[in-house]
Amino acid sequence: MKDELEKLHSVLDPLMQGKRNLKVLEAGCGSRTQIRLPPDACIVGVDISEEQLRKNTGLHEKRVGDIQTCALGEDAFDLIICWDVLEHLDRPLDAVSNFFRAIREDGAIVLTFPNVMSIKGLVTKFTPHLFHVLVYRYLPQQKTIGKKGHDSPFRTYMRFGISPDTLKTFAGRHGFETAFCHSYQGVMQAELRRRNIGIDRLFQVAEPLVKALTLGSVCVNDCDVIVVLKKGEDAPSEP
């Protein structure tokens, strides 16, 4: 994930260059901030969980709310970050539309989410919540997931509206350009393949087969996505 964050910052840092006292929204912030931010940034966190907000010590302002419906303000933020949240929303494009209203003219929106048009995304979409819990428990440091007193994976809807192509088209219709779109193999999938040679071999065999059968519409390895959206015509092209 370190390499992916560096690629993101290579695009995001120039977009934020020269801005002082950044007003940042962490949408569905959870218990920690993922992106490197300047020390003078004012970070507002919105999450539906009061408990997660309490755990996040990097926020300057905490708001309990549903990012699909809560009022975020008009032209209120220089940067909006929504990290691994859209897949858990019943109406993710409502949340993205909310971000469009809240971002300033020269601001940027960072979205990260699993690619529903990947094997991981499709399996996640069409399997029950219990299966997700069991997969997490198979990973190191996750043995208590879903047990009493410990966090459980949130319910996952994985709507097709957040496939990368659909999301970029949706953004374009609302006057936003894609400054960055990067697909990569997520940490959990990489860990599963590392721990189980059978799973790894299955992925190796499946990659060309799935690509041929779906005419390239479904991917095997690159299961997670980072997208940066920027308003206006002066957004830099994708690297």
Structural domains of the chain sorted by starting position, each given as residue range(s) with its CATH number in brackets: 1-114+158-185+224-239 (3.40.50.150), 117-157+186-221 (no CATH)
What are the pLDDT digits (tens) for 143-167? 555 555 445 568 899 999 999 999 9
Evaluate whether 80 touches 99 at the Cβ level (below 8 Å). Answer: yes
Better pLDDT: 51 or 66: 66
Evaluate whether 187 touches 193 at the Cβ level (below 8 Å). Answer: no
Amino acid at 85: V
User: What is residue 172's predicted lDDT score, i.e. its pLDDT?
Assistant: 96
Cα atoms in the 13 Å half-sphere on the side-chain side of 31: 5
User: What is residue 150's predicted lDDT score, i.e. its pLDDT?
Assistant: 46
Of the candidates 224, 192, 41, the one whose C-alpha atom is nearest the C-alpha of residue 115 is 224
What are the pLDDT digits (tens) for 54-94? 888 889 999 999 999 999 999 999 999 999 999 999 999 99
User: What is residue 143's predicted lDDT score, i.e. its pLDDT?
Assistant: 54
What are the pLDDT digits (tens) for 181-219? 999 999 889 988 998 999 999 999 999 999 999 999 999
Q: What is the pTM of this model?
A: 0.89
Give the residue carrying structure tokens 């905490």: 62
Q: How far apart are CA 217 and CA 98, in angstroms?
A: 29
Mean pLDDT confidence for 25-37: 85
Q: How far apart are CA 51 and CA 27, in angstroms?
A: 15
Q: How far apart are CA 21 and CA 42, in angstroms?
A: 6
User: What is residue 222's predicted lDDT score, i.e. its pLDDT?
Assistant: 94
Of the candidates 6, 224, 10, 228, the one whose C-alpha atom is nearest the C-alpha of residue 103 is 228
- Token pair, residue 162, equals 């957040």
